[in-house]
A and B are shown apart, each in its own frame.
Chain A
């Protein structure tokens, strides 16, 4: 690569190959979006005529999609609550305290992210089957939390590390109690990270397939499992519309995370600049 750097032909070749690879990543998504409005939803591209029929079919009588969607939304909401409780406490413990066996706890948190999901799913199946809890939204949510909570913990660890501890110390030195510090300093600064953690927990659970498939029953099928079934066993062209909605949902969620991060990025700076104007703890700064 290096030897190509300065030659024009080399640059053009690299750009062309990179563009093809980017298309390789983006095209499957673009094709779904286009096909969801196509008259012929089956393996024919580009479409000959346009229609909204696949979207209408989602809500037709006997459609399985509304039930699958509401189950997935319920499960993801529960899983998000569990993940945030676990995430906030774990991140606080890992970042802001003296924790014995800290690296062991951290390794445990990373475990579900590196172990094949099918193995976790099999273990959870063996766990919930004897309790006759297969198909229970609670069981599926508890299962999803095994994957979603570690992601929340990682995001919140980064959030807490990014908060200047001197702000908390300063508040304490001025006589603020623990609760006041948490409510007026730490929580507002951590809020963007908490929202990001919530969104990522929700997406993780909403898209989760392996655990859902093992913990589902005939009557309770999550959205990804229903998509999988539609692609393997049944022929249901409205799966294109569902896929397009899922793509829109993913883009919306990522946009939301970016927005929250952007809004939150100014906050600690503004607090620190207050600190600067007061003239406290301003090492190396110019006198105000």
Chain B
């Protein structure tokens, strides 16, 4: 330090200072990098290795063949189907709710956001339990429907796919609402006004201006809830029946009940690959959106 302060040439101290800042930066980044390499990257890497090994340690693709046939394959399809249903529903609900919130007065909008955010921080187990109480034969929903003398009530709302999708949608909804609300607030209202001043009708403005502007946000919100649902099992395991077993439940069963680590590892890698593919799509969609915004600006 003393040398840099007294040095005559101005270029040299700056260079020294820069390298010092770099060294300090590396030192500060070290804990997080080391921690995540040891307890996140390495464990996932060893999962990958395990999925490629046979009982005697030799290389095999047997576990992947196993994961992609018979019952396991139908679990994979169930996972994709339930995740897709959840994504579509939470996207539709999220779009309507975020739209409504953008129109509210600030105080009401704040209250509505509170109703979105507070559940998000309440344990998913607790919220799932709430749904189980609500959707039972004598739960709030069926009692209300019976009181309104809806034909067919009480309905079977639990331990089937309907129950699972209701439950998981309510878990994913806070994410989509928060994301879409941010996207909608980011829309430049002047573009809509400009279109209107040129004589465009409301339907045209919505279809040609508003929807294209929020489309990348819609796509990434939908993909996000799809990805998050893929690895989820708290709600499906508690609110579903045997036909709603998802891939994460299978991984859990293989490890804890059957002691079948290699098979579980292969399932984990498949889940990982699906997730990474989804994330890649999100990245493509958002960069497309960014370039479109640039062009329209």
Contact = CB atoms under 8 A, between A and B. Distances in A.
Interface in B23-62: 24-33, 35-37, 39-44, 46-47, 50
Interface string A117-134: 111101111110000000
Contact of A100 (B26, B118, B129): B26
Given A1-B206, A108-B33, A118-B233, A27 B140 contact: yes
A114 B227 contact: yes
Contacts, number: 273
B91 interface: no
Nearest to A124: B43
A32 B139 contact: no
B132 interface: yes
B275 A116 contact: yes
B136 interface: yes
Nearest to A1: B99
A25 B173 contact: yes
Interface in A137-167: 142-143, 145-146, 149, 153
Contact of B47 (A122, A153, A239): A122
Given A142-B39, A231-B129, A44 B138 contact: yes
Contact of B96 (A18, A44, A119, A232): A18
A188 interface: no
A122 B44 CA distance: 8
Contacts of B217: none
B288 interface: no
Nearest to B44: A123
Interface residues of A, number: 83
A94 interface: yes
Nearest to A224: B125
A115 interface: yes
Contacts of A42: 136
Contacts of B67: none
Contacts of A232: 237-238
A224 B123 contact: yes
Contact of B29 (A32, A99, A210, A213): A99
A123 B129 contact: no
B23 to A, nearest CB: 9
Nearest to B18: A98
B93 A2 contact: no
Contacts of B117: 254
B145 interface: no
Given A44-B138, A209-B124, A231-B238, A254 B231 contact: no
A246 interface: yes
Contacts of B131: 28
Interface of A: 1-3, 5, 11, 14-15, 17-18, 21-22, 24-32, 35, 42-46, 85-87, 89-90, 92-94, 96-100, 105, 108-109, 111-112, 114-120, 122-127, 142-143, 145-146, 149, 153, 203, 207, 209-210, 213-214, 224, 227-228, 231-232, 239-240, 243, 246-247, 250-251, 253-254
20 contacts: A2-B203, A18-B99, A28-B128, A28-B170, A30-B130, A45-B133, A85-B31, A86-B32, A93-B25, A99-B25, A122-B264, A126-B50, A145-B39, A146-B40, A149-B36, A209-B124, A214-B255, A250-B118, A254-B118, A254-B121
Given A3-B202, A243-B125, 9 more contacts: A2-B202, A22-B97, A28-B170, A111-B41, A114-B227, A123-B47, A143-B39, A149-B36, A250-B122
